Chains A and B, each alone.
Chain A
Amino acid sequence: MRLSVIALSLICCVPTAVSAQSARQEKTINLPGGVSVEVAAISRAGNLVAAICSDHVVRVWSARSGELMRTIKQDTGRPSGVQFSGDGRLLAVSYETVPYEEGTIKVIDVDSWKVQSDLTSECMFCTLSFSPDGQRLASAGNSDTYVWDVATQKKVATISPPFGGSAALSFSPDSRWVATADGDGFVRVYNAKTGALRGTPTEFLLEPFTVAFGPDGKSVLAGGADRVISIIDSQDGKISRAIPKQPGLVETLDISANGKLAAVVYGAGELFTAVNHIALWDLDKGAVLVDFQKPGITIMGGTFVDDHYVFAAGSGNQLTLWLIH
């Protein structure tokens, strides 16, 4: 089996661009015939992968063995977003209850697979982010962004970008602040308890698609259609450094726990149909350590596990797990 995976990897590597440092396929998970993966998330520990599948079912697998752990079906609507809490004990799944208008979020205890919280609002959600302390969950979509208290199921803050909603969210390491990448072309940082605006840089012209707080809490990385990775001072909102000329639209980025590495996923096209390119950056040197591109796959979600980056990719009715370092 292992040999066949390696052989398959070698065959698949023919059209693949990859630098000398390694990117390897770790696991292949086969879905039922005709079913593909639309969105995926990997737990911080790298042990679980959850995916929204085209049959509107959320499936959770062991990332290590590939074993299917749980199939989650809800009658509430179409699943639109999925995310694990930092400790991997909670899984949030958002559903569109009225297309483009209303949504609900189920927060599920991963040990018992019971719904712990049910968060409903007049907004569609597709982006979810837990605070590092696990107490809050931020949700965003095409309209307002909400910060919820997971235990009480109450909204603690409502954030309203002028238009276009928010494409991405990130909490600060101390859970006090939340950064948003907004459709109107701004990155904003808010107080996660009150929703009060802390600061916003004005240098972006095109839409930012991704934000990530650095581990020191002082900086926020952002990127988007500008094809620039910007490092923003989270206090005054000014851009302290920029890494321009990225090879594609910066769709997602993630920072390692020591703040030295960033995994950047690039997309192309208005609907991001060609999201098959990922690079591992050394942030101190501003240099690419690994550059990996593979036509035919769609990179969906990932996480740093120590200095490795594990990500999920979909291709047909397969979900593949990759590791770069």
Chain B
Amino acid sequence: MLTRRDLLQKCVALGSVVIASQFSTEAMLAAFQDREKQVRKPTPQNTLGPFYKRLTPMNNMLRAPGDPGIPLTLAGQVFNTRGDIVPDATIEIWQTSHQGHYDLNGYRYRGKLKVDKSGAYTFESVIPGHYPDRVCQHTHYLVIAPGHKTLVTQLYFATDPVFEGDPVKNYARDPLIQTPELIRPVILTGEPNEVHAKVQFELCLERL
């Protein structure tokens, strides 16, 4: 039975694949195979912003009872570009309160966790307010995992009035958003007087 590698070698021999490179045939075929395994697109990077704070405690419950704002669950899984689960990733998030204030003195609305064996994570927060100096509501993400490029990005909310219901068309209204991929749909559940929002945000890391 032909292996994938044998098949590629045969393609080279028959001229179906032409190696037009200064690198060896072996190296180019290995690179080709490696790239073929890339099944997921890496999550786009987005600016760190000036309010990252070191030593954020391990904590996934960012809201306290009675906090104003719409309760928000942020959930997802961490993969790499091959589609493998990344079970040893650490995710750190920070955002403003419902009123649009960053906590620079303490760690309100800042949290960190290690994903579980399935690469899954969940943070409990509130939908962030509009920070006066930014166009869009956003939550900052920092994802670190051994053997992977550190991901610094931001999550945006499709319900943000700035997008007028059409994030694909209007994403560039915030000059820091270079792609609508970072704008995620918001799922609302619960009773009308107790609305709860949930956002699914899968994270994909580049392998080193």
Is the beta-carbon distance between B131 and A270 smaller than 8 angstroms? Answer: yes
Task: Name A206's contact: one of B104, B133, B144 (CB within 8 Å).
Answer: B104
Is B55 in contact with chain A by the CB < 8 A criterion?
yes
Count residues of chain B with CB under 8 A from any CB of chain A: 21
Task: Name A163's contact: one of B48, B50, B134, B178 (CB within 8 Å).
Answer: B48
Is B32 in contact with chain A by the CB < 8 A criterion?
no
Is the beta-carbon distance between A269 and B133 smaller than 8 angstroms? Answer: yes
Is B190 in contact with chain A by the CB < 8 A criterion?
no
Q: What is the minimal beta-carbon distance from A268 to any residue of chain B, in angstroms?
A: 8
Nearest A residue (CB) for B48: A164
Task: Name A99's contact: one of B53, B54, B150, B178 (CB within 8 Å).
Answer: B178
Is the beta-carbon distance between A185 and B52 smaller than 8 angstroms? Answer: yes
Q: How far is the CA of A269 from the CA of B52 in the complex (A)?
A: 13
Is the beta-carbon distance between A206 and B134 smaller than 8 angstroms? Answer: no
Majority SS of interface residues in chain A? loop
Known contacts A99-B178, A163-B152, A209 near B54 by CB under 8 Å: no
Q: How far is the CA of A269 from the CA of B102 in the complex (A)?
A: 10
Is the beta-carbon distance between B133 and A205 smaller than 8 angstroms? Answer: no
Inside 8 A of A240's CB, which chain B residues have their CB? Answer: none
Q: What is the minimal beta-carbon distance from B153 to any residue of chain A, in angstroms?
A: 11
Is the beta-carbon distance between A206 and B52 smaller than 8 angstroms? Answer: yes
Please provide the chain A residues from 264 to 279 with a CB less than 8 Å away from any CB of chain B in the complex.
Answer: 268-273
Is A102 in contact with chain B by the CB < 8 A criterion?
no
Is the beta-carbon distance between B152 and A205 smaller than 8 angstroms? Answer: no
Q: What is the minimal beta-carbon distance from B173 to any residue of chain A, in angstroms?
A: 14
Task: Name B53's contact: one of A100, A163, A206, A268 (CB within 8 Å).
Answer: A206
Q: What is the minimal beta-carbon distance from B34 to any residue of chain A, in angstroms?
A: 20
Please provide the chain B residues from 116 to 149 with a CB less than 8 Å away from any CB of chain A in the complex.
Answer: 131-134, 142, 144
Q: How far is the CA of A186 from the CA of B53 in the complex (A)?
A: 10
Nearest B residue (CB) for A249: B50
Nearest B residue (CB) for A209: B50
Q: How far is the CA of A269 from the CA of B96 in the complex (A)?
A: 12
Is the beta-carbon distance between B54 and A273 smaller than 8 angstroms? Answer: no
Inside 8 A of B47's CB, which chain A residues have their CB? Answer: 142
Inside 8 A of B192's CB, which chain A residues have their CB? Answer: none
Give the interface size class of chain A. 20 to 34
Q: How far is the CA of A186 from the CA of B55 in the complex (A)?
A: 12
Is the beta-carbon distance between B54 and A270 smaller than 8 angstroms? Answer: no
Inside 8 A of A269's CB, which chain B residues have their CB? Answer: 131-133
Is B49 in contact with chain A by the CB < 8 A criterion?
yes
Is the beta-carbon distance between A184 and B54 smaller than 8 angstroms? Answer: yes
Is the beta-carbon distance between A205 and B55 smaller than 8 angstroms? Answer: yes
Q: What is the minimal beta-carbon distance from A103 to any residue of chain B, in angstroms?
A: 16
Residue interface mask A181-223, B partner, CB < 8 A = 1:
0011110000000000000000011110100000000000000
Residue interface mask B97-111, A partner, CB < 8 A = 1:
000001010000000
Is A162 in contact with chain B by the CB < 8 A criterion?
yes
Is the beta-carbon distance between A270 and B48 smaller than 8 angstroms? Answer: no
Inside 8 A of A261's CB, which chain B residues have their CB? Answer: none
Q: How far is the CA of A209 from the CA of B48 in the complex (A)?
A: 13
Is the beta-carbon distance between B142 and A163 smaller than 8 angstroms? Answer: yes
Q: What is the minimal beta-carbon distance from A202 to any residue of chain B, in angstroms?
A: 9
Q: How far is the CA of A288 from the CA of B178 in the complex (A)?
A: 42
Q: How far is the CA of A209 from the CA of B45 in the complex (A)?
A: 21
Is the beta-carbon distance between B133 and A270 smaller than 8 angstroms? Answer: yes
Residue interface mask B177-189, A partner, CB < 8 A = 1:
0100000000000
Inside 8 A of B178's CB, which chain A residues have their CB? Answer: 99-100
Q: What is the minimal beta-carbon distance from A124 to any residue of chain B, in angstroms?
A: 11
Please provide the chain A residues from 253 to 302 with a CB less than 8 Å away from any CB of chain B in the complex.
Answer: 268-273
Q: How far is the CA of A163 from the CA of B49 in the complex (A)?
A: 12
Q: What is the minimal beta-carbon distance from B49 to any residue of chain A, in angstroms?
A: 6
Is the beta-carbon distance between A204 and B50 smaller than 8 angstroms? Answer: no
Is A37 in contact with chain B by the CB < 8 A criterion?
no
Nearest A residue (CB) for B132: A269
Inside 8 A of B133's CB, which chain A residues have their CB? Answer: 268-273
Please provide the chain B residues from 48 to 71 with a CB less than 8 Å away from any CB of chain A in the complex.
Answer: 48-55
Q: How far is the CA of A95 from the CA of B203 in the complex (A)?
A: 31
Given contacts A184-B54, A185-B53, 12 further A-B contacts (CB under 8 A): A100-B45, A164-B48, A205-B55, A206-B51, A207-B51, A224-B50, A225-B104, A268-B133, A269-B131, A269-B132, A270-B131, A273-B133
Q: Which residues of B contact A (CB under 8 A)?
A: 45, 47-55, 102, 104, 131-134, 142, 144, 150, 152, 178
Identify 8 residue pairs between A and B in the complex whose beta-carbon atoms are under 8 Å apart, listed by A's number: A99-B178, A142-B47, A163-B144, A164-B48, A207-B48, A207-B52, A249-B50, A269-B133
- The 8 A-B pairs with the shortest beta carbon distances in the complex, nearest first, are A269-B133, A185-B54, A164-B48, A163-B150, A270-B133, A183-B48, A271-B133, A205-B54
